[in-house]
Structure 1
Amino acid sequence: MAEDKGRPGPALRIRNLVRTFRTPRGILRALDDVSFEVAPGTITGIIGPDGAGKTTLMRILAGIMEPDSGTMEILGRDPRTEMAAILDNLGYMPQKFGLYEDLTVRENMDLHADLHGVPLERRAALYAPLLRMTALSPFIGRLSGKLSGGMKQKLGTACSLVHAPALLLLDEPTVGVDPVSRRELWEILRTEVGKSSTTLLVSTAYMDEAEKFDRVVILYNGKILGEGPPQDFVSEATGHVFLLSLPDTPPRRLEPEIALLPGVADCSGSELGVRTVTLSASPPSLPPTLPARIDPTPPVFEDAFMLRLARKTTGTGGEGASPSPKKELSWGTGQGIGKGGEPAIEIRELTRTFGNFVAVNRLTFSVGRGEIFGLLGANGAGKTTTFRMLAGLLLPSSGTLRIDSRDVTGGNVAALRGRLGYMSQKFSLYAQLTVLQNLIFFSSAYGMGGKRQRDRVEELLEFFDLTPFKNESSGLLPLGFRQRLALAASIMHEPSILLLDEPTSGVDPVARREFWRVISQISLRGVSVLVTTHFMGEATACDRLAIMAQGRLVALGSPREITESAKTPQNLQPTLEEAFILHLEKSGTLEAAGAQK
């Protein structure tokens, strides 16, 4: 293994990089004259919405694809003539962690060590600190496919560090993992940078991670929208951020009205109200019909990102962003959140075991008509197992499960399947089929045909702004568009209950906001929504939340009730993420959360 840690100067220098792709809609400029530098021993973040060019840039730097034009220096070397030497000192973790699921933890690490020529006699000394930092030592003989998402994330990081690279490329390393695992990963990376002066280049769709970087580069439609220390961007948003609240009005009902106000660059619900970013450094002008309270609030990086994006794209949506609803939905009761009566979903003492492993342990809660109910938990907490029982894909081991007032514990969910919409983490689309073919397939699977089928497909193509892409293969669409298509397929049959299993994992904040506006509109038509999520920001859009750990319920209530319950003398205004972690700590499950699938 080469010991060269790079020559003096920037660890990475990029000049006028261009990369294009031929698509059914013409030539796409994934990278358009991109230039920046990365100082050695620093952490630099590549931030941007879906389709911005982040992954294309990472693949070019890793030597997986070539640019059309432009120049690069990586660790002081020219990749056109010295790529072999560069690869000896470069680590790369793609979005899916680059693991072989039929190999054990140790075998995956050995494979990466073999690829980089790490001598056998040095491996034990190199592995020991990595296994200790990632808490993988007890699982060294376990197949990586049997690890939870958080553990896979940490194993992927360990594998990319086995040869002590001078430059480490991480392509959205925290997609689909919980806040606990994200916090642990950043502790590992900070330790590694401080110990060995490794340079990190990290792409991410999580805006809160930007503040962990020394420097950020914002990409939008292949171009650099800005670069510099994250605090510089945050300072730009000072005086532009306000919290709007109205007594007895849930933030998700207030948000659509605020979004339409002149001069509003962005708004999103929170447990305390609607966080609003304005184009000018002044509060929004409210009509007499909207007597909301307005309180200035300090900006965070996400506010600055949305402000910068709005200034660039005023009046347009970024590629991958979900559309704002343009018309009323054509199904549902239209009665909004139900008051009283039978709940849409009722779970009592629900338990599911796999051999000796208890995945869901005596779970009890209910979901009201038209309610958005969030299920939170660390990876491996039992959320997806619960969803699979609700969807009829798994039978409970014991307990009671009632859907639309009917007991389906014995597995007779099939009789109610027409009332359920299910959007899984992987979107369950057929990548080889076009957008139109996917919608026709799913509508046919629900027994739709003739004029009703044609009208419904056309309605959803229009509603989700998918008409321009209806003849494109769904597998080639950007993530935000695939998300729209998956949601369209899940509501094709006009369900009364919608199950969303981590629907926005890896989706940028623009698409996430618009997606949740659609979900809120659906719920206000009387459709009940049960959603799992790792984004604490979007969890505040739920009416109530349940926090799970190791299959058990550890907290239940509205977002405000959960944050209020986490108050301490040292922290009188905890965030929802802080409350989430505190409840896991109180339950005694924080250390074990994510260790089991």
Structure 2
Amino acid sequence: MEAAAATVVAVDLRKCFPAAGGGQLEALAGVSLSMRKGELTALVGPDGAGKTTFLRMVAGLLRADSGQLQVLGHDVASQPQQVQDCISYMPQRFGLYEDLSVQENLDLYADLHGVPADERHARFERLLQMTDLAAFRQRPAGKLSGGMKQKLGLACTLVRSPQLLLLDEPSVGVDPLSRRELWKIIQQLVQEEQLSVLVSTAYMDEAERCEQIFVLHQGRLLAQGNPAALTDKAQGLTWAVAPVPTRQPRDLQAQLIDDTRHVLDAVPRAGSVRFILQPGVAPSDIAAVLQGEQPSRRPAELEDAFMMLLRAQETPASLPAAEVTASRIPQDDAPVIVVRDLVRRFGDFTAVASTSFDVHRGEIFGLLGPNGAGKTTTFRMLCGLLPASSGHLEVAGLNLRTARAQARARIGYVSQKFALYANLSVRENLEFFGGAYGLGGTQLRGRVADAIKRFDLQADARSGDLPAGYKQRLAMAVGLLHAPEILFLDEPTSGIDPLARRAFWRTITELARQGVTIIVTTHFMEEAEYCDRIAIQDAGELLALGTPQQVREQARGDGIDMNAAFIGIVEQGRAQRSATASGRAA
């Protein structure tokens, strides 16, 4: 492709950073690619593949060690300011000013970008209409839900009309409804303004929306093409099987994914298990795993091809469960968590309204809901991090009103945001938190060494410098050090790629098998398929509670996946609340 017909042209692009313990880490190792104008283009790849490094170089924020990079006809090395005058860049952590209102944030970014006063009104109104934020223009940014913050970040990025928009995982941490709205805005910009967009994403269904996809791995370009061309790589190898009712889909998935000699990948979906066979392998070769269950062929998807490409490059370190001390986990049938009429108010605002449910020992229980639904508030109350306004709450047989400290000693917690000490090394974080959990001496040293090995961590690496997926590995390792009987996971796989998500859930599945109770929040609806039961909340109310199959049935969907079921149930709930409110007003 000629440079004049391209938005971005990279030739043999290389970039190194100092590695932990000395030496160099090659973030980009000779990447050459060309991005067409007026198209939506995706960068995909596992954590540490070089996606963010490439985007920052295109934005003129990092200088290449060697190679050539042209953006919109400008040489980035010699003309970084000309490049920055033509582009808009939304990084993973976009800098909203939370004390300023929606309108004030837009005004501030318009000032920073020198947007003429006579252009602002029309531009602001269009952006507020596209993002559905017009009714919230006076609301402080800090009081918006996660999805609304992402939409405001996108609006602030677009206060001027760029020729190229760079988006670094814009939908991380937002629910399926907000994600759908965000992508509707992006596609509208491409269609109506012929805007060129380069987006990095961990969601393969988002990459499928793009005209061109570049797959990066360890700083190298692994594959490129349109979604159909890449998906063709997996045709003929993809199957689905419905386990018998007595067999959990996640248990069959675990057995399939462990059979690396025959199976490339497996994931539960809509009550069945979708899997990819190694080339030359037939279903009869895995008869012992299938135990008489008959698989059927299915069309390949982009994620299948992505997983095939990654599996061909490396054998990912499995993440088996950390040691669980059997004596720590009682073997009775009593619920390990009891919630009755739980309410949490913040002033006049009710975040959680009279929620009730039980969680049994060894169960994987999912708390799902849109951003701002009240699930994080519920989660924090269950962990003993936030007191309830009213209601009854027991965790590990202890009343959280009277025995919060004792309950905390029996739980592990992995937060949504990286909550460890960024300036400490991996080993130092593990040793510090192990000591806080009451471990010491030989036991602590053994647990730390085991965690580093099991989670494939670099002991001397500075924690704050780790890629997102490895930060989450470290957080999981810390949460499991003291062998808790209940593990709370707040969006543990947010922002990490499908390969890393499989490894995390293999660990979680094994923990549950050993009797550990798992409470998890997630915005990846495929992960709800691993749960024994799920609860869906919105506006503080419980909309659904049951097995994944029961929730799909409630959504009145036959054979639909959990993403569609989630959206259907939330939209049903909102329609009912709207009708009720209209009836009261009348």
* TM value normalised by structure 2: 0.93
Mapping 1:126-525, distance limit 5 Å: 126-247=123-244, 248-261=246-259, 262-280=261-279, 282-284=281-283, 285-288=285-288, 290-291=290-291, 292-313=293-314, 316-317=315-316, 323-325=318-320, 329-332=323-326, 341-408=333-400, 410=401, 412-466=403-457, 469-525=458-514
Give unpaired runs (5+ residues) of structure 2: 579-586
Partners in 2 of 1:132 and 1:31 — Cα distance?
39
Alpha-carbon distance, 1:12 to partner: 1.5
Letter in 1 for 2:372: G
Partners in 2 of 1:117 and 1:406 — Cα distance?
58
1:16-47 CA-partner distances (Å, limit 9, x unpaired): 11111111252111011111111111000000
Partners in 1 of 2:189 and 2:243 — Cα distance?
46
Q: 86-95 or 526-535, which moves further after superposition?
A: 86-95
Structure 1 residues 590 and 512, CA gap change in structure 2 (3 angstroms): farther
Letter in 2 for 1:583: I
- 1:555 equivalent to 2:544? Answer yes
Alignment-derived partner of residue 4 in structure 1:
none
Partners in 2 of 1:328 and 1:413 — Cα distance?
25
Secondary structure in 2 matching 1:293: coil
Partners in 2 of 1:484 and 1:564 — Cα distance?
35
- 1:55 equivalent to 2:52? Answer yes
Query: Contact (CA 8 Å) 1:549, 1:589: kept in 2 or not?
Result: no
Partners in 1 of 2:572 and 2:282 — Cα distance?
40
Alpha-carbon distance, 1:8 to partner: 4.8
Letter in 1 for 2:158: L
- 1:10 equivalent to 2:6? Answer yes
Query: Contact (CA 8 Å) 1:332, 1:527: kept in 2 or not?
Result: no
Alpha-carbon distance, 1:415 to partner: 1.8
Secondary structure in 2 matching 1:392: coil
Structure 1 residues 81 and 260, CA gap change in structure 2 (3 angstroms): closer
Query: Contact (CA 8 Å) 1:259, 1:266: kept in 2 or not?
Result: yes
Question: Which of 560, 564, 568 is matched with 1:578 structurally?
Answer: 564
Secondary structure in 2 matching 1:540: helix
Structure 1 residues 64 and 589, CA gap change in structure 2 (3 angstroms): farther
Q: Percent identity?
A: 46
- Give the aligned length: 571
Partners in 2 of 1:174 and 1:288 — Cα distance?
40
* TM value normalised by structure 1: 0.92
Partners in 2 of 1:418 and 1:214 — Cα distance?
51
Query: Contact (CA 8 Å) 2:469, 2:495: kept in 1 or not?
Result: no
Partners in 2 of 1:360 and 1:328 — Cα distance?
33
Alignment-derived partner of residue 573 in structure 2:
587
Secondary structure in 2 matching 1:579: helix
Structure 1 residues 99 and 463, CA gap change in structure 2 (3 angstroms): same
Please give the root-mean-square deviation of Cα atoms over the aligned residues, in Å.
2.0
- 1:77 equivalent to 2:63? Answer no
Q: 351-360 or 74-83, which moves further after superposition?
A: 74-83
1:350-370 CA-partner distances (Å, limit 9, x unpaired): 010001111111111111100
Query: Contact (CA 8 Å) 1:395, 1:411: kept in 2 or not?
Result: no
Question: Which of 104, 107, 112 is matched with 1:115 structurally?
Answer: 112
Secondary structure in 1 matching 2:295: strand
Query: Contact (CA 8 Å) 1:333, 1:525: kept in 2 or not?
Result: no
Query: Contact (CA 8 Å) 1:11, 1:38: kept in 2 or not?
Result: yes
Structure 1 residues 274 and 335, CA gap change in structure 2 (3 angstroms): farther
Letter in 2 for 1:329: E
Letter in 2 for 1:244: V
1:202-248 CA-partner distances (Å, limit 9, x unpaired): 00111111111111000000011111101111122111111133311
Secondary structure in 1 matching 2:81: helix
Query: Contact (CA 8 Å) 2:343, 2:354: kept in 1 or not?
Result: yes
Partners in 2 of 1:459 and 1:17 — Cα distance?
38
Query: Contact (CA 8 Å) 1:343, 1:367: kept in 2 or not?
Result: yes
Alpha-carbon distance, 1:330 to partner: 3.8
1:281-308 CA-partner distances (Å, limit 9, x unpaired): 6534124464132121122111110012
Partners in 2 of 1:156 and 1:98 — Cα distance?
8
Secondary structure in 1 matching 2:224: strand
Query: Contact (CA 8 Å) 2:337, 2:394: kept in 1 or not?
Result: yes
Alpha-carbon distance, 1:411 to partner: 5.1
Query: Contact (CA 8 Å) 2:56, 2:62: kept in 1 or not?
Result: yes
Q: 96-105 or 229-238, which moves further after superposition?
A: 96-105
Partners in 2 of 1:328 and 1:235 — Cα distance?
38
Partners in 1 of 2:551 and 2:280 — Cα distance?
32
Alignment-derived partner of residue 595 in structure 1:
none
Secondary structure in 2 matching 1:81: coil
Secondary structure in 2 matching 1:131: helix
Partners in 1 of 2:146 and 2:577 — Cα distance?
15
Partners in 1 of 2:43 and 2:300 — Cα distance?
20
Partners in 2 of 1:334 and 1:239 — Cα distance?
47
Letter in 2 for 1:298: P
Alpha-carbon distance, 1:58 to partner: 0.7
Letter in 1 for 2:507: V
- 1:566 equivalent to 2:566? Answer no
